[in-house]
Amino acid sequence: MEQIAKVFSIEKLTHDVLRITAEKPANLTYLPGQAVDISINKPGWEKELRAFTFTSLPQDDHIEFSIKTYPLHKGVTNQLLSLTKGDELIVGGVFGDIAYKGEGIFIAGGAGITPFLAILKQLEKENKIGQNKLLFANKTKADIICEDRLSRLLGKNFVNILSDEKQEGYEHGFISTDLIRKLISKDTNYFYLCGPPPMMQAVEKQLSELGVAEGSIVKEAF
Ligand SMILES: Cc1cc2nc3c(=O)[nH]c(=O)nc-3n(C[C@H](O)[C@H](O)[C@H](O)COP(=O)(O)OP(=O)(O)OC[C@H]3O[C@@H](n4cnc5c(N)ncnc54)[C@H](O)[C@@H]3O)c2cc1C
């Protein structure tokens, strides 16, 4: 069922990521980690559905999305760059494979952090961050979404890896079997994985090399 949601605010989270808040449609229910099909209620864009993950919590009185924009695609995310307060989104069906099952390692690439932002926010609220760890892969430091917040939340359990930039205190290159192995502890029951398909394929292969069972992997490709 499609519902209209008026946009409350738009701000930049990074140089190319927007944080958009909007009215919460009546009776909308979702779990932290789930996504929804969104389109823009403007002529010619109503039927252009794209999936975005809620970075708000189900109990919040508004909905929030954190959206990486791709101006070169000339698609929906480019169009979102000219969205203003009072414009409308069309909110469709809720779906998604990522849900929290227990402590483990969250492995995200770029905008693949969004389901984990929602889950970590919920765990923070419940005082259950525990020994959860986050391995976050980006091109450069400027691409890291919510770095300060995640640092405060996870401390030493937040590990960043940058492929295109060398920075002190940050891993360099791509995620490797060795890096994942270093993070595994007795509290690692699950591996949560979300990012672009090439990164997902590489990390799934590494998890398999580490002997991680399929049933311990919770994943969604963006
Ligand atoms: C379950 C799920 C949840 C998601 N949640 C989020 C989220 O919370 N935040 C987030 O940022 N993203 C999220 N994504 C990814 C998001 O859906 C895509 O980034 C988004 O659909 C891109 O839409 P777009 O219209 O801007 O571009 P696209 O739909 O990728 O492209 C539009 C057109 O541009 C052209 N094009 C495609 N690739 C290129 C290219 N490389 N160069 C030039 N032209 C190109 C093609 O003709 C294409 O039809 C999620 C994806 C899934 C599956």
Q: pLDDT-based confidence at 1, cuts 50/70/90?
A: confident
* CA of 73 relative to ligand 1 center, distance in Å: 8
SS3 82: coil
User: Which ranges of 92-167 would DSSP assign to H, the alpha helix?
Assistant: 114-125, 147-154
Retrieve residue 15's tokens.
């140089």
In this predicted structure, what is the pLDDT of residue 75? 97
pLDDT digits (tens, 9 = 90+) for 50-103: 999 999 999 999 999 999 999 999 999 999 999 999 999 999 999 998 999 999
Q: Where a domain ends, among 77, 95, 113?
A: 95
Examine the domain organization and report whether 109 and 215 are in the same domain. Answer: yes
Mean pLDDT, residues 191-214: 97
Are 178 and 124 found together in one domain?
Answer: yes
Supply the residue whose CA is at minimum distance from atom 7 of ligand 1. Answer: 52
Pocket test for ligand 1, best of 12, 50, 119 (most atoms within 8 A of CB): 50
Same-domain status, 215 and 129: yes
Proportion of the chain above pLDDT 70, given as a percent: 100
Nearest CA residue ID for atom 9, ligand 1: 67
pLDDT in tens, 26-41: 989 999 999 999 999 9
Question: 81 and 117: one domain?
Answer: no
Check whether residue 133 and residue 214 sit in a common domain: yes
Is 134 strand, coil or helix?
strand
34 pocket-lining for ligand 1 (C-beta < 6 Å): no
Query: Do residues 48 and 77 share a domain?
Result: yes
Query: Which pLDDT value is given to residue 97?
Result: 86
Q: How close is the Cα of 68 to the center of ligand 1, in Å?
A: 9
C-beta of 114 in contact with ligand 1 (< 6 A): yes
Ligand 1 atom nearest to CA at 17? 11
- Find the domain containing 48 and state its range: 3-95
> Do residues 78 and 14 share a domain?
yes
Nearest ligand 1 atom to alpha carbon 222: 51
H helix or E strand, kind and range, residue 199: helix 197-209
> What are 209's two structure tokens?
């090399």
Do 8 and 108 lie in one domain? The reply is no
Instruction: Please state, in angstroms and rounded to a whole number, the distance separating the CA atoms of residues 207 and 218.
Output: 12
**Number of structural domains the chain divides into:** 2
Full strand arrangement of the beta sheet holding 217-221: 171-172, 158-162, 133-138, 104-109, 190-195, 217-221
Q: What is the pLDDT of residues 91-144, one digit of tens each?
A: 999 999 899 999 999 999 999 999 999 999 999 999 999 999 999 999 999 999
Q: What is the pLDDT of residue 172?
A: 98
Of 75, 95, 115, which residue is a domain's last?
95
Instruction: With a cut of 90, say whether residue 4 has pLDDT above it.
Output: yes
Considering the entire predicted model, what is its pTM? 0.95
- The CA radius of gyration of the chain, in Å to the nearest whole number, is 17
Q: Are residues 51 and 31 in the same domain?
A: yes
Residues 81 and 125 in one domain: no
Domain identity same for 77 and 135: no
CA gap 114, 34 in Å, rounded: 9
CATH number of the domain encompassing residue 73? 2.40.30.10
For ligand 1, say whether the CB of 203 is within 6 Å of any of its atoms.
no
| CATH code of residue 112 | 3.40.50.80
Looking at every residue in the chain, the average pLDDT score rounds to 97
